[in-house]
Amino acid sequence: MPVTVLDDVAVVDVVAGRTVAHRQVVVDGDRIADVRPAGAATEPGARTPDVRGRTVLPGLIDAHVHVKAWHADLGIVPRRPASYTALKAAGLLEAMLQRGFTTVRDAGGADAGLAAAVADGTIPGPRLFFCGHAISQTGGHGDAREAGDDRHAGGGDGLSRIADGVDAVRQAARDELRRGAHFIKVMVSGGISSPTDRLGSLQYSRDELAAFVEEANNAGRYVTGHAYTAASVTRAARAGFRCVEHANLIDAATARLMAEKEMFLVGTLATYEALATRGADAGMPADQLAKLQRVRDAGLRSIELASAAGVRLVYGTDLLGAMHDAQLTEFTLRAQVQPTAELLRAATVDAAALLDQPDLGRIERGAHADLLLLDADPLTDITVLTRPGVHLQAVVQGGRTVVGSLDPASR
């Protein structure tokens, strides 16, 4: 693959929160070889597409997706053949790439097979990090059985598995790590899509939570928690969790505790808006939708509290079924309370830090060559990112153009 030189482009420096005009980005293989002033002498034989005046942004990262959640009623997913779900997941992954997401973190359901299929080019999609199955207690957020279902609690909802007691949670964590999990996800509070728990319920004992953390730490991984309430987030923080998902119902004191513990928060406002307007039509059961309004109303306030406390915020969406097409709405929702520069960091460099991938999410020498070529600056207008059909001209992933074209004649 020849060296590619993008000359006289504006580069969004997400770390500094500014856009630098008249730069030259040199891509060699799957890495950025240099970022230097425009007009610098190019390497012999280099490819030099005419991209003058365009804006270059790091590839986006969505840190809370469910690529196997092809239906909004998660109870349906495990009742279909695994081959069907894998094919549906492939379609969801390709659509994410088309929106500019070059890396995603799956928070329940994806596995080593899907990650390998993306990595070796069998299917197009974002680079995929995964936890395998999220782990739930009996009657917790990952237990898909209705109250009248007397089946043994041997499995979860297709995205989760069930384990109770310190020994069992150790075994479950070790098994997910054996299967290649990049992190462990634990259900620490109730949720919307679970049929028998309440949003405010506390799930898992302190000893069980500590066991999850010890097993992850022993393997050089980390634990994140599905948690909505201040009490559940506080328990996760004190147990040593590195991250929590959602956290819509936190208070200022909990936000300060998260900042003190240097935790990450993956907010997911997009899913609540999508569920509120489309959930019923998409097949989500009415009893689950009834839980929605409380967390939807509190979502923006939680982002505002966490941002004010200095919590490292990360972009996530948590969408289900046909509602995956709302993946970019997280930008406009958060923009109501979060500064644009901070929001761009949430979807790039801060998400990369959560993934322990310092070479992702930035445009600098040695970084992965994951780039978006845009005809406008998202730092000036974040809504640019929500209209990829209008503004996104090319997606470069690992040095390869995978969406659109760098050649103006081909756009």
Q: Give me the long-range contacts of 82-85 (CB less than 8 A, separation at least 24).
A: 85/158
Cβ proximity of 341 and 293 under 8 Å: no
SS (H, E, C) 366-409: CCECCEEEECCCCCCCHHHHHCHHHHEEEEEECCEEEEECCCHH
Helix (H, G, I), strand (E, B) or coil at 299: helix
Cβ proximity of 214 and 136 under 8 Å: no
Please report which residue ranges of 145-225 form alpha helices under DSSP H.
166-178, 206-218
- Tokens standing for 209? 């939570």
E strands along 304-345, which residues?
Answer: 312-315
User: What are the beta bridge partners of residue 83?
Assistant: none
How far is Cα 271 from Cα 292, in angstroms, rounded to an integer?
10
Helix (H, G, I), strand (E, B) or coil at 194: coil
As to burial, measured by CB atoms within 10 angstroms (0-12 exposed, 13-18 middle, 19+ buried), residue 198 is exposed
How far is Cα 388 from Cα 34, in angstroms, rounded to an integer?
27
Cβ proximity of 132 and 181 under 8 Å: yes
Tokens 């299929």, located at residue: 117
How far is Cα 353 from Cα 195, in angstroms, rounded to an integer?
34
Residues involved in catalysis: 185, 318
